[in-house]
Chain A
Amino acid sequence: MKKISNNLLILFAVLTMFNSCKKEYDLPPVKSAAEANKINIANIKAKFKTNLSYKFKADSSLYCVVTADEVSGNLYKDIFVKDATGALHVKLINSGGLFIGDSIRINIKGATLNDYNDLVQLDSVDSEKNIVKLASGYNPTPMVTTIANILANTSATSSIQSRLVQLNNVEFVSADQNQPFADAIGKASLNRILKSCDGKTLTVRTSGYSNFAARLTPGGNGTFIGIVSNFNGTMQMLVRNANELIMNGTLCGGGTNTNTAGTYLSKNFDDNSTTSGGWTKQNVSGTIDWTTATFGGQTFAKISNFVSSANVPCETWLISPAINLSSSTAPMLSFNNAYKFTGDALEAYVSTNYTSGLPSTATWTKVNFTLSSGNYVFVSSGLIPLSAYKSATTRIAFKYKGTAADGSTWEIDDVLVKEN
């Protein structure tokens, strides 16, 4: 028996050894970091020649940090980057995956250096194949400068080009205060003019695809953060995110900020209430109610007659408080709206004689507006003139209707009545 167990032990040991040799994973070959060439933004820009494009043919690594990304939609297939030697616009052939503060390495092989209307750019960069994210969270600090300084550096290769900057004590010119940044409906870019108190002005250009396109420009003086850009020699600014603009101070020359000037009614539902500010809800039929909801950081009023598997017939109104338009000049109503699912369209009404109770106790006039294309895409209603309703008791209302057969979900936000 002892001999057997000895034999067994030996066999066991042999088999275990034979089996336990750790095998290394076979991995695809990688390029050696030691041998990789490095290049910086200044080196790249040095290759720039107006109206000529330069193609990089060798593997070269550009180490940089992302200063502007595509998240707000103001950029698409574009990012801006910086390193110790400058800043650069990078045009991508694919979208996504790179965010402000990412530390990245770009292999510039295959990319082209050219300009887009005088803005120098590294073109045709394949982010999937040529950009490696090394780390994130290196949030770049904007360089504080002045409009005057930007205007003084129009050269395409100036170090301020494509730079993330902060402008203090600036404001939009009065015509461009409280105006949408861009045309969110027509998806068209718009220019708004920024000025400093010394009278220098600079264009702020915003894409109609940006998620803040429909937001209104601030009406006060303050801090502006953006990317310096250039369009055919004219310097302009790109906003990364409208939330970065803190402009609610006193205007140049001491004027009060106009953030709420000429506004007779404003409701953005950000307080999660449909009825704050004197708004009321009326159930003409059914019990379906207006509520608030939040999506993508935006809070809005919402209504749907789809309750536990069925469409419930209903007619529900959301009615504003009385608005005093008696001394107004050209009051306009505007709001954003979105919907999804088949059903009756949302309707908007105006009345000058409603007091309380059911809507049928007053005279209401239906007004037309731009309807959402569905799929919860918010659009602006457009400016709806209320000049015909200049009373001290003007009210506006939204009427939602659902049937047993169908019903949409409607969402409205940023209801404004103000001077044109």
Chain B
Amino acid sequence: MKNFAFIRQNRFRNKINFIYYVMTGHSKQQQIKFLHKHGRLCAAMICLALTVPFNGLRAQVDTSNTSLPPQDTVQTNPNIPIFSTNGGDAESDADQQDMSSLLQSSRDVFTQFASFQFSAGYYRMRGYSSENQQVMINGVNVNNLETGYSSWSSWGGLNDVTRYVENRVGVTGSRYGFSGPGGYTNIDSRASSFKKGTNVSYASANRIFRHRFMATYSTGLMKNGWALTASASNRVGNQVYVPGTYFNGSSYYLSIDKKLKDKHLFSFTGFVAPIEQGRSTYQRSETYQLAGSNYYNNLWGYQNGKVRNASVSRTRRPMMMLSYINNLSEASRITTSLYYTFGKNSISSIGFNDATNPNPEFYKYLPSTYYEKGDTITGNYFTNKWLTDVNSRQVDWDRMIALNRANIYALPSQLGQTIITNETRARYIVENRVENLSNVGINSVYNTRIKDLFLSAGLNANLYKNRKYKEVEDLLGATYWLDYDRFALGQGVDANVQQNDISNPDRKVYQGEKFGYDYAINVNRAEGWAQAEQSFKKVDLFASVSLSSYSVWREGFVANGKFPTSSKGTSAKLNLINYGAKGGITYKINGRHSLTANASYLTRPPEANNIFIGQQVRNDLVSGVGSEKVLAGDLNYIIKYPGFKLRLTGYYTQINNQVWVRSYYNDIYNTFVNLIMKGVNQSHQGIEFSLEKTLFTSHVIQTAFGLGQFVYTNRPTLDAWQYNSSAAVFTDRTVYLKNYRVGGSPQLVYGIGYKYNAKKFWFAAVNFNFFDQIYVEPNPDRRTLEAVDKYLSNETTSFSKITAQEKLPSYFTLNANGGKSFRLAHGKYYLRLNVSVNNLLNNKTNIIGGFEQLRWDPAYLDRFDNKYVYMLGTTYMASVNFSF
């Protein structure tokens, strides 16, 4: 059935929520000294994140995830898996993840701008998507094995205990593991890392949530060798900014360490962040205009007068890790961790069968569809409906429930018999697409120092299984749902074809039961790596290597009527051996100036979701899929003086042999169509420049400039498959993609900030940011010869309409923040107040993202036009933090 949840949320949207922040230029040590000297807290150091004393060095970011949601199609960067929540794809997981590679603060000025200023415009440093950066907690890699993404939302709200972050950008050495071209982030959240204290805070905001409560208690490392840290938070909000959305998240964290004789540390860390969120999504310009708001959201409607969202994401994925750190000697250490992540993510959508499409912005309900044909009367009719009838503009829950209640239905096998029944068959249901994960892993790292040589080596292995199925969330007044594939109707004479489960034909499904599809993606991975770092007087060097094996397969638990022999059981396995090597050199011109050069080459598996054809119903692998090949390098010039910092970087990255799979609903074929693009190459090159200057000790000026060129560099091939047929729609079309820009992130950003640090422990800051070179991700199906073959060279209007890439308008933002700290009772208590305001000018016309619909119609080139999302207007977050 077609799901009405069309899109995938925009996983960058949460960045809107980021806090404005400017850090001081002090290093941690400097600040602590400063604190000691003055015996009280330096007010200047912190942003909104509320922190315990002496820990104020790092800004905290709220990683809560604002999602958005259903549409016929959505796509983004080819590196970012699908987006269409239409049931046709399986990436609800990625959906709930926070894609940012830079959610944490960093002492690097450019990274700070990227995290706290540019992120509101979906900026990704160097254009990298999340799989390029390794994210770790206590040294354990938490990037998803299937998607490569890191799920920041898994520890969302735990700001107090995810504060200690080590972050390095780009090709870099790492003592934790072999990181990709984007660098790595390690969050240190062991109990023994925290000082004794209690911290409670409250924040009020009008972005994603309205209220946030956090409380953290740490014992510090006690004399008996034990340390305990516990933290909990709660974030709630209902329709805070975007209509129909809501957020309801709690987070819990516990860490217990036991230190034995300075030599052994046993550490347990466990956390879970259950989040439920009503989403919003990208829209066409037409619906924004009709609704009179750039925050129109088609995903909600009234049920009995109450607002209900059709696309609700729920996450509950605990992670537990048990570590043993053995300090073999002063110079050597072995860290071994065993960890386990499990639990469900789900996204709801409306499934329907034998019924009209419940999506209020389905193209047949939009006036333009009729105006385009010259049918002004019907066009005016729908315009009027949109303008005057909220149930036409939004999901009409009451109508669906009434239809369900009235739908007494006889099964085909009962036709002709007299059936007396009160049971009604659902035409509409709310269904959850569930992913139930189990990932167990072990990670062991050995570090040793021999004079100026630092050696690291490690082994890690994972057993990953993600079971995906649909379940009935709400029958909307009906008694049962019939487990049919509505797209399979009329596909030949075999009555089995429409059965989602051949062994249970005509199955009635009730609330909470599985239906539709049921399969697991299994990934086994093992890796060994080693690194050497050597410091000389003028030169530092590092070199790392990695070797890994990766095996992925699908395991179907039901036989689907469309693919009776190839849906149940185990698919062929894709086995890949990958390797990587990197190295870097730092040339210290003098104590203040240095030049570094880094380079890496590695191969890595494609995203597991991209290697199957019609993953939900078939065991078939995309043919000819191999490892991606990544070549990356950067050159940096760094200057560091007290009160002056500068970095200039040039980078170049080439990512080759990628595979890209998306699916979308096409009502001409009346099914989902799977588009598979193979052999995709892209390059990311550009420069980053940042500078920080402190004037007269209390005035800080910071600036950052990033100019990139993120482009596709070859002509990949494109196949298309239908979900309801084993025959391909077409294969091996050439996609003329070369030099198209990678969509999503702005490729030109500029920011400048000024901050005043007052002596009385307050600060105020203002920032200006400029965003440009923002492109809409191209749909490969429109860049084939077949798509434009009929046009002659002078017929440029239609030709361009199909092939041109849309560049979104540039824009700027103005943000401000400030805060003040109080020391109470002679340092017994600390109170901190912080306020940040984003988009001071309340500009509601900044388009921060867009995509081309995968569906397009050669006869109606305007019908499936691009969809966009706008930056929120003025928003604030204010917090009070009390610690002792």
Contact = CB atoms under 8 A, between A and B. Distances in A.
A30 B805 contact: no
A71 B378 contact: no
Contacts of B374: 71, 99-100
B577 interface: no
Nearest to B805: A25
A57 interface: no
Contact of A33 (B593, B639, B787, B794): B794
Given A18-B650, A129-B789, A311 B402 contact: yes
Given A26-B738, A26-B739, A28-B803, A297 B406 contact: no
Interface stretch (B482-490, B518-526, B623-631, B704-712): B704-712
A269 B860 CA distance: 34
A343 B860 contact: no
B373 interface: yes
Given A26-B739, A341-B403, A342-B407, A296 B377 contact: yes
Contacts of A343: 406
Contacts of B803: 25, 27-28
Interface in A122-152: 127-134
B784 A406 contact: no
Nearest to B709: A19
B788 A134 contact: no
A25 B406 CA distance: 55
Given A297-B378, A309-B304, A31 B793 contact: yes
Nearest to A30: B793
A360 interface: no
B304 to A, nearest CB: 6
Interface size class of A (residues with CB under 8 A): 35 or more
B792 A33 contact: yes
A231 interface: no
**Residue among A25, A36, A310, A311 with the highest chain B CB neighbour number at 10 A:** A25
Contact of B790 (A8, A26, A132): A132
Contacts of A61: 792
Given A12-B689, A25-B740, A297-B377, A96 B859 contact: yes
Interface in A293-347: 294-297, 306, 308-311, 341-343
A25 to B, nearest CB: 5
Given A25-B803, A25-B805, A128 B795 contact: no
A341 B401 contact: no
A28 B788 contact: yes
B550 interface: no
A31 B689 contact: no
Contacts of A295: 378, 381
A131 B794 contact: no
A32 interface: yes
A130 B791 CA distance: 9
B434 to A, nearest CB: 28
B402 A23 contact: no
A32 B794 CA distance: 8
Interface string A92-109: 001011111000010100
A20 interface: yes
B406 A342 contact: yes
B741 to A, nearest CB: 9
Interface string B393-406: 00001110111011
B827 interface: no
B637 A132 contact: no
B262 to A, nearest CB: 45
B737 interface: yes
B799 interface: yes
**Residue among B402, B734, B857 with the highest chain A CB neighbour number at 10 A:** B402
Given A131-B790, A309-B303, A311-B406, A97 B860 contact: yes
Interface in B784-839: 784-785, 787-795, 798-799, 803-805
A362 interface: no
Nearest to B592: A4
Given A28-B736, A71-B374, A295-B381, A405 B795 contact: no
Given A18-B650, A26-B736, A296 B790 contact: no
**Residue among B737, B789, B860 with the highest chain A CB neighbour number at 10 A:** B789
A19 B708 contact: yes
A62 B442 CA distance: 70
Given A4-B639, A12-B648, A18-B650, A26 B398 contact: no
A12 B792 contact: no
B6 to A, nearest CB: 23
A343 B792 CA distance: 56
A24 interface: yes
B686 interface: yes
A309 B860 contact: no
Interface string A272-303: 00000000000000000000001111000000
B408 interface: yes
A11 interface: yes
Contacts of B794: 33
Contact of A405 (B406, B686, B793): B406
Nearest to B739: A23
Interface in B674-712: 685-687, 689, 707-709, 711
Contacts of A253: none
Contacts of B788: 28, 30
A16 interface: yes
A405 B715 CA distance: 59
Contacts of B637: 7-8, 11
A4 B858 CA distance: 57
Contacts of A405: 405-406
A18 B686 CA distance: 8
A127 B738 CA distance: 29
A308 B398 CA distance: 6
Nearest to A136: B374
Contact of B859 (A128, A294, A309): A128
A20 B648 contact: no
B783 interface: yes
A97 B859 contact: yes
A29 interface: yes
Nearest to A97: B859
A361 B402 CA distance: 34
A15 interface: yes
Contact of A28 (B377, B709, B785, B804): B785
A68 to B, nearest CB: 13
Nearest to B650: A15
**Residue among A24, A30, A94, A308 with the highest chain B CB neighbour number at 10 A:** A30
A311 B857 CA distance: 39
B667 interface: no
Contacts of B646: 8
B277 to A, nearest CB: 25
Interface string B606-645: 0000000000000000000000000000000101000000
Given A30-B799, A296-B377, 4 more contacts: A19-B686, A25-B803, A28-B789, A30-B791
18 contacts: A8-B637, A19-B686, A20-B709, A25-B805, A26-B715, A26-B739, A27-B803, A33-B792, A96-B859, A97-B859, A105-B792, A295-B378, A295-B381, A309-B304, A309-B402, A310-B402, A311-B405, A406-B406
Shortest beta-carbon contacts, A-B, top 5:
A97-B859, A309-B398, A26-B738, A297-B377, A406-B406
Interface of B: 303-305, 373-375, 377-378, 381, 397-399, 401-403, 405-408, 593, 637, 639, 646, 648, 650, 685-687, 689, 707-709, 711, 715, 734, 736-740, 783-785, 787-795, 798-799, 803-805, 857-860
